[in-house]
């Protein structure tokens, strides 16, 4: 099977390429280039991982729309016209919103709260409108992805934990779904091989609390870090840093039973195994 992969040098793309370049014939394309430079020959599936992501501070709403919607649909139309049969799109649970008191599923109504989430949902809808008997679309929605080469908030949390003797994140009993990058790329490979259309949710087997996550990082680092409860911090963050408060204290979790049943999917790694592999990579970067 011949794939065309965008985002091959990114966090998820590089992991996918490293694990599956022997399983598929993979050509790559930088989405930063003009689409007019893209030449398509005998490609079966387009795997679109490139995006303007929500961690990019200061990005304008128009930039999200241009990259994540307009250029993505232009790409889909071009590959469809060239005879590509399958378009795989990496989306995000941010299409649902920012928190959940009940688990998100593949059919949960979407109410995105920021330009990034809105752009991903708009792209999903436009891609599905292109589907016909010759062109299928698979949409993969992910929560926070972690693992070797991780960036942004998870890397900051690892660095903070590594540098601290005590942290005020004890007794946080929220539920946060995450997905280890090799569990995600395994799901991605199954969608490609099985050529299944529809919406699929990526997640590790069980949600994890902020306190449990930090404990797992501490254990993988082989450190001693005292976690204590600090209710005042929770109140301060809720007032002055609501987005950080939401990530640290609120629920955002997934029930991807449908995805697992449709793909006959089992995650290769537990969350603890994924965190351990991430910390091995992190320690290597410190040498």
Active site members? 116
Is residue 132 within 8 A of residue 85, CB to CB? The reply is no
Both tokens assigned to 84 = 């590509």
Interatomic CA distance for residues 104 and 97, integer angstroms: 10
Please, what sign has the CA dihedral across residues 259, 98, 131, 64?
negative
Note the Cα 65 to chain centre separation in Å. Answer: 19
User: Could you tell me if 142 and 90 are in contact, meaning their C-beta atoms sit under 8 angstroms apart?
Assistant: yes
Which residue(s) pair with 128 in the sheet?
A: none
Among the listed residues 86, 77, 128, the one whose alpha carbon sits nearest the alpha carbon of residue 2: 86
């Amino acid at each position: 099977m011949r794939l065309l992969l965008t985002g091959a040098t990114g966090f998820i793309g590089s992991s996918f390429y490293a694990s599956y370049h022997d399983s598929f014939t993979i050509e790559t394309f930088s989405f930063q280039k003009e689409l007019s430079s893209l030449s398509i020959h005998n490609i079966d599936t387009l795997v679109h991982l490139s995006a303007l992501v929500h961690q990019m501070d200061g990005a304008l709403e128009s930039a999200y729309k241009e990259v994540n919607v307009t250029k993505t649909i232009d790409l889909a139309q071009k590959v469809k016209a060239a005879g590509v049969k399958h378009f795989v799109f990496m989306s995000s649970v941010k299409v649902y919103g920012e928190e959940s008191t009940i688990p998100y599923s593949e059919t949960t109504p979407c109410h995105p709260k920021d330009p990034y989430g809105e752009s991903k949902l708009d792209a999903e809808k436009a891609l599905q409108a292109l589907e016909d008997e010759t062109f299928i679309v698979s949409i993969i929605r992910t929560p926070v992805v972690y693992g070797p080469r991780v960036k942004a908030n998870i890397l900051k949390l690892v660095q903070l934990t590594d540098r601290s003797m005590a942290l005020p994140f004890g007794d946080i009993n929220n539920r946060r779904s995450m997905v280890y990058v090799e569990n995600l790329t395994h799901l991605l490979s199954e969608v490609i091989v099985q050529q299944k259309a529809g919406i699929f949710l990526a997640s590790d087997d069980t949600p994890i609390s902020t306190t449990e996550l930090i404990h797992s990082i501490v254990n993988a680092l082989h450190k001693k870090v005292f976690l204590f409860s600090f209710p005042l911090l929770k109140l301060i963050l809720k007032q002055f840093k609501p987005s950080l408060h939401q990530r640290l204290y609120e629920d955002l979790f997934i029930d991807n039973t449908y995805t697992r049943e449709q793909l006959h999917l089992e995650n290769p790694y537990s969350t603890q195994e994924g965190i351990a592999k991430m910390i091995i990579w992190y320690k290597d970067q410190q040498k």
